[in-house]
Amino acid sequence: MLQIALAGKPNCGKSTIYKSLTLANVEIANYPFTTINANKGVAYVRSKCPCRELGIEGCTECVDGNRFVPVELIDVAGLVPDAHLGRGLGNQFLDNLREADAIIQVVDASGSTDAEGNPVDVGTRNPLDDVKFLRYEFAMWMAGIVEKHRAKLVRQAQGKEQVLIDLLGEALGGLRIDALQLKQAVDECGINLARATPEDIEKVCEVLLRISKPTLIAANKADLASDENIAALKELGAIPTIGVGELALKTAASAKILKYLPGDATFTPVEGAKLSAPQIKALTLIAQSMKKFGSTGVQEILNKVVFEEIGMIVVYPVEDENKFCNAKGQVLPDAFLMPAGSTPKDLAFRVHTDIGKGFLYAVDARTKMRIKDTTILKSGDIIKIVSTAK
Ligand SMILES: Nc1nc2c(ncn2[C@@H]2O[C@H](COP(=O)(O)OP(=O)(O)OP(=O)(O)O)[C@@H](O)[C@H]2O)c(=O)[nH]1
Ligand SMILES: [Mg+2]
């Protein structure tokens, strides 16, 4: 499953965002290093279910026309400058980012925590100072891994640069980096891998990180942040988030106090729900922030990372192209996240290895036309796969 990591300095709200997206029971507190062991759970990206647009009745898999598709989310312990040298609670935390397909870098936009995550007055810390360090630490950590393998592989490659790239690419498989990405980074830096200096390797790793682990900034604690801080972080592509707000709304919605779907711009109390005075006060503040930013931003950032940064699409395989259902009559039973550029055959393999191996052809259920094996699938496609395997 696609893996998205929440990373950043201590006490910026990673676990709050994690909990709001997974509703897992994790520790949250206003001091650094609350989280030590990474939390792993399932979060959901939100997309429009095609049932409404096609006027299909009886879709049981969506919520009010919205489809929630699972991804894996990981909440990593707080990282501090020089983490790659073992500062903070050690560089093993960087290792938790190893398998991430993308990173949401959580930043305390309110400036109410110092570089180590200790509470300070709101506005004391400039959040821009918390942005650069994470990629640098990760790149330096990666450079350490590259250097560890390189000396041995240079001998093995016997002066052949492409062989060295292939060998090193293979060695970096655990970081979900491949030889093609390594080649791209080496070319962009214009270096020779066998003769590279440690500084060259650091540069390659910075590029490699950009290529292999897209990062988006969550300007968290946006409810407390100044307009200047939000504007400066937005310049870097950040999305303002209110982790505590999202958590409160999700919790209240699951207790059936509120009607709220993650990503909605507003919420409404359920008729007859008894709200206490503090609850009403807290919800009023959340509503004000949502009005200012459009939503709590939490679902928005997860969606943006998955659909825009990584570029995934949602595809719906069906067995009956006329009724858009499976053999049991279940309408649009599955929604799969696939990388952009996927073909019907890729989808067949995603459904099942045997279906992929026995792939014959595919039908676009919207047009009822057979489509070419090389057709590039689009988000929202509903596809019937015809295979020798059942
Ligand atoms: N005002 C405000 N406070 C928030 C927000 N998100 C989180 N917090 C508070 O920030 C503090 C730290 O939250 P955590 O989620 O534990 O932070 P963390 O980044 O996981 O911290 P470590 O595990 O120590 O690295 C808690 O007191 C949260 O309630 C937010 O959007 N707004
Ligand atoms: Mg935490």
Per DSSP, the residues of 340-380 read: TT--HHHHHHHH-HHHHHTEEEEEETTTTEEE-TTPPP-TT
pLDDT beyond 90 at 57:
no
pLDDT beyond 80 at 279:
yes
Please list the alpha-helical segments (H only) found in 294-327.
298-303
User: pLDDT tens digits for 304-338?
Assistant: 999 999 999 999 999 999 999 999 999 999 999 99
> To test ligand 1's pocket by mutation, which of 6, 21, 34 has the most ligand atoms within 8 angstroms of CB?
34
Buried b (16+ CB within 10 A) or exposed e, 57-87: eebeebeeebbbbebbbbbbbbbbbebbeee
Q: Mean pLDDT, to the nearest integer, of 273-284?
A: 92
Read off the pLDDT band of 92 (50, 70, 90): confident
- Measured over the CA atoms of residue 5, residue 11, residue 15 and residue 17, the dihedral's sign is negative
Decide if 317 contacts 309 (C-beta within 8 A): no
User: pLDDT tens digits for 110-154?
Assistant: 999 999 999 999 999 999 999 988 989 999 999 999 999 998 999
Decide if 28 contacts 229 (C-beta within 8 A): no
How remote is the CA of residue 307 from the centroid of ligand 1, in Å? 26
Q: Which numbered atom of ligand 1 lies nearest the CA of 18?
A: 15
Read off the pLDDT band of 244 (50, 70, 90): very high
The H or E element spanning position 47 is strand 39-48
In order, the DSSP letters of 271-302 are TT----HHHHHHHHHHHHHHHHHSS-SHHHHH
Q: Mean pLDDT, to the nearest integer, of 44-60?
A: 92
Percent of the chain with pLDDT over 90: 86
- Distance (Å, rounded) from C-alpha 210 to C-alpha 285? 37
Q: Mean pLDDT, to the nearest integer, of 348-352?
A: 95
User: pLDDT tens digits for 363-384?
Assistant: 999 999 999 999 999 999 999 9
pTM reported for the whole predicted model: 0.94
**Structural domains in the chain, sorted by start:** 3-125+215-304 (3.40.50.300), 136-206 (no CATH), 312-387 (3.10.20.30)
Count of alpha carbons within 13 angstroms of residue 263, beta-carbon side:
17
pLDDT beyond 80 at 34:
yes
Q: Which numbered atom of ligand 1 lies nearest the CA of 106?
A: 19
How remote is the CA of residue 77 from the centroid of ligand 2, in Å? 6
Q: Which long-range contacts (CB under 8 A, 24 or more apart) does 115-118 make?
A: 115/9, 115/80, 115/81, 116/9, 116/10, 116/32, 116/80, 116/88, 117/9, 117/10, 117/11, 117/12, 117/31, 117/32, 117/33, 117/78, 117/80, 118/11, 118/31, 118/32
pLDDT beyond 90 at 94:
no
How remote is the CA of residue 14 from the centroid of ligand 2, in Å? 5
Tell me what the pLDDT averaged over the chain comes to.
Answer: 94
- Distance (Å, rounded) from C-alpha 250 to C-alpha 301? 16
- Tell me the residue type at 264: D
Q: Which numbered atom of ligand 1 lies nearest the CA of 27?
A: 16
How remote is the CA of residue 116 from the centroid of ligand 2, in Å? 13
Which ligand neighbours the alpha carbon of 110 most closely?
1
Angle value at C-alpha 286, between 280 and 288, nearest 5 degrees = 105
